[in-house]
Amino acid sequence: MTRVPLRDVYRDIRAYDVDAARFSLELADNTSPYGTPPAVRDFLAGAPGVNLSRYPTTYSRPLRDALAAYIGVAPDEIMVGAGSDEILSSTFRALGSPGALVAHMHPTFVMTRVFAITNSLRVVPVGLTASYDADADALLASEADIIYLCAPNNPTGTPVQRATLDKVIDEARGLVMVDEAYAEFAGSNLAAKAPGRDGMLVLRTMSKAFGLAGIRLGFAVGERALIAELEKARGPYAVPALSEQVALVALQHDLPWIQDKVAEVCATRDRFVGGLHAAGYTTLPSAANFVLVPIPGAASVGAALREKGILVRHFEALPGLGDALRISVGLPYDMPRVLASLQECAPCR
Task: Give the model's confidence band at 235: pLDDT under 50 very low, under 70 low, under 90 confident, else very high.
Answer: confident
User: What backbone phi and psi angles, to 5 degrees, belong to 177?
Assistant: -100, 125
pLDDT at 15 over 70: no
Distance, in Å, from the CA atom of 157 to the CA atom of 43, rounded to the nearest integer, reads 33
pLDDT at 146 over 90: yes
Angle, nearest 10°, between helix axes 255-278 and 335-345? 30
pLDDT in tens, 309-349: 999 999 999 999 999 999 999 999 999 999 999 999 998 86
- Residue type for position 17: D
Mean pLDDT of the chain: 92
Distance, in Å, from the CA atom of 117 to the CA atom of 217, rounded to the nearest integer, reads 23
User: Residue 262, Cα to own-chain centre: how many angstroms?
Assistant: 15
Distance, in Å, from the CA atom of 94 to the CA atom of 40, rounded to the nearest integer, reads 34
pLDDT in tens, 154-205: 999 999 999 999 999 999 999 999 999 999 999 999 999 999 998 999 999 9
Q: What is the pLDDT of residue 349?
A: 65
Q: What is the pLDDT of residue 1?
A: 34
pLDDT at 232 over 60: yes
Distance, in Å, from the CA atom of 112 to the CA atom of 237, rounded to the nearest integer, reads 24
pLDDT in tens, 65-96: 999 999 999 999 999 999 899 999 999 999 98
pLDDT at 11 over 60: no
Q: Give the 3-state DSSP-derived string for the chain, with helices as H, strands as E and coil as C.
A: CCCCCCHHHHHHHHCCCCCHHHCCEECCCCCCCCCCCHHHHHHHHCCCCCCCCCCCCCCCHHHHHHHHHHHCCCHHHEEEECHHHHHHHHHHHHHCCCCCEEEEEECCCCHHHHHHHHCCCEEEEEECCCCCCCCHHHHHHCCCCEEEEECCCCCCCCCCCHHHHHHHHHHCCCEEEEECCCHHHHCCCHHHHHHHCCCEEEEEECCCCCCCHHHCCEEEECCHHHHHHHHHHHCCCCCCHHHHHHHHHHHHHCHHHHHHHHHHHHHHHHHHHHHHHHCCCCCCCCCCCEEEEECCCHHHHHHHHHHCCEECEEEEEECCCEEEEEEECCCCCCHHHHHHHHHHHCCCC
pLDDT in tens, 120-131: 999 999 999 999
Domains of the chain: which residue ranges? 7-36+256-345, 38-253
Stretch 270-293: mean pLDDT, rounded?
A: 97
Which residues are CB-neighbours of 74 under 8 A, at least 6 positions away?
68, 195, 224
Asked whether this chain's domains 7-36+256-345 and 38-253 adopt the same fold, the reply is no
Task: Classify burial at 239, counting beta carbons within 10 Å of its beta carbon; exposed 0-12, middle 13-18, buried 19 or more.
Answer: buried
- At the fourth CATH level, the homologous superfamily of domain 7-36+256-345 is Aspartate Aminotransferase, domain 1 (3.90.1150.10)
CATH level 3 topology of 38-253: Aspartate Aminotransferase; domain 2 (3.40.640)
Distance, in Å, from the CA atom of 193 to the CA atom of 285, rounded to the nearest integer, reads 25
This prediction has a pTM of 0.94
